[in-house]
C-alpha cells in the first residue's frame, strides 16, 4: 500500500513477506530526493529494460507527489474558531507568506512561512496556522476574512469563514 494523499514529505508504507512474516517498512519520500534519483538514473541509464522501467516508475512517482498547481484550500475548522489552519499546495518550491485581510481590505495579520518545497501542506502539522489574532496580538472578531497566499511572483486569494 502506498499513500500519497498528503504533503511534500510523503509517508509511504510498503509491505512485503519474508519467511511468512509481514514486515512493514516506513520511509519518507521528498520531491527533491525523487528528482535526484531520477537525474542519477538517467545519467546511469545503460538502455536496458530494467533501467527504463526504473526511470518510468520514478517519473510516475514524481508526477503523483508534485501538485499540478499552486492553490489555497479550505481552512479548518470552519466556521471560524479562535484559531484556524490554512492548508495550501505549491507547484514549486518558494518563499511563502500568508496575509489575512479584513472586509475593508486592511491587513489583519501577516504569516511569514519561509521557504517551502513543492508539495501539499494540508495537515495541522504542515498547514499555516493563524491563532485568530492581529499583528498586535489582540484577538480579532469572528467573521469572514480574506487570505492571500504570496509566493515569489504569484498570489492566490480565498475567503476564511
pLDDT tens, position by position, 26-38: 445 667 778 788 8
Sign of CA dihedral 99, 156, 149, 125: positive
Domain finish residue from 23, 45, 65: 65
Are both 58 and 82 inside the same structural domain?
A: no
The pLDDT value given to residue 15 = 34
> Which one of 48, 65, 82 terminates a domain?
65
In a domain, 52, yes or no: yes
- Tell me, yes or no, whether 82 and 144 share the same domain: yes
Q: Give the span between the Cα atoms of 72 and 82, in whole angstroms.
A: 20
Nine-digit cell at 85? 489552519
pLDDT value for 7: 35
How many domains would you assign to the chain? 2
The neighbour count for residue 141, using CB atoms within 10 Å, is: 8
Strand segments (E) across 19-127: 21-29, 71-72, 84-86, 88-90, 94-101, 107-116, 119-121
**Beta pairing partners, 16:** 23
pLDDT reading at 123 higher than 80? yes
Asked whether residue 78 falls in the same domain as residue 152, the answer is yes
* Inside any domain, residue 102: yes
Q: Are residues 149 and 84 in the same domain?
A: yes
Q: Would you say residue 3 lies in a domain?
A: no
Residues 77, 83: Cα–Cα separation, whole Å: 8
Q: For residue 64, what pLDDT is reported?
A: 77
Task: Output the domain CATH number for residue 87.
Answer: 2.60.40.4070
Q: CB-based contacts of 47: which residues, under 8 Å, 6+ apart?
A: none
Query: pLDDT at residue 159 above 70?
Result: no
Residues, the chain? 161
pLDDT of residue 158: 59
The stretch 51-71 carries a mean pLDDT of 85
Bin 38: left if φ > 0, else alpha if -120 < ψ < 50, else beta: alpha
pLDDT value, residue 78: 65
Residue 18 pLDDT > 70, yes or no?
no
Output the pTM of the full model: 0.63
Cell of 105: 481590505
Question: 53: domain range?
Answer: 10-65
Residue (of 146, 139, 122) closest to 67 by Cα position: 122
DSSP state of 43: H
Q: 156 and 129 in one domain?
A: yes
Amino acid at each position: 500500500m502506498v499513500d500519497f494523499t498528503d504533503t511534500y514529505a510523503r509517508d509511504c508504507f510498503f509491505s512485503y513477506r519474508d519467511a511468512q512474516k509481514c514486515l512493514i517498512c516506513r520511509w519518507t519520500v521528498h520531491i527533491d530526493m525523487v528528482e535526484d534519483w531520477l537525474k542519477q538514473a538517467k545519467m546511469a541509464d545503460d538502455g536496458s529494460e530494467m533501467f527504463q522501467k526504473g526511470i518510468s516508475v520514478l517519473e510516475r512517482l514524481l508526477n503523483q507527489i508534485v501538485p499540478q498547481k499552486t492553490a489555497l484550500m479550505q481552512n479548518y475548522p470552519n466556521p471560524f474558531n479562535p484559531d484556524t489552519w490554512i492548508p495550501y499546495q505549491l507547484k514549486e518550491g518558494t518563499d511563502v507568506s500568508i496575509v489575512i485581510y479584513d472586509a475593508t481590505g486592511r491587513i489583519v495579520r501577516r504569516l511569514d512561512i519561509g521557504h517551502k518545497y513543492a508539495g501539499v501542506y494540508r495537515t495541522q502539522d504542515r498547514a499555516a496556522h493563524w491563532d485568530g489574532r492581529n499583528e498586535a496580538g489582540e484577538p480579532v472578531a469572528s467573521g469572514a476574512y480574506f487570505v492571500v497566499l504570496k509566493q515569489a511572483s504569484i498570489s492566490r486569494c480565498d475567503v476564511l469563514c
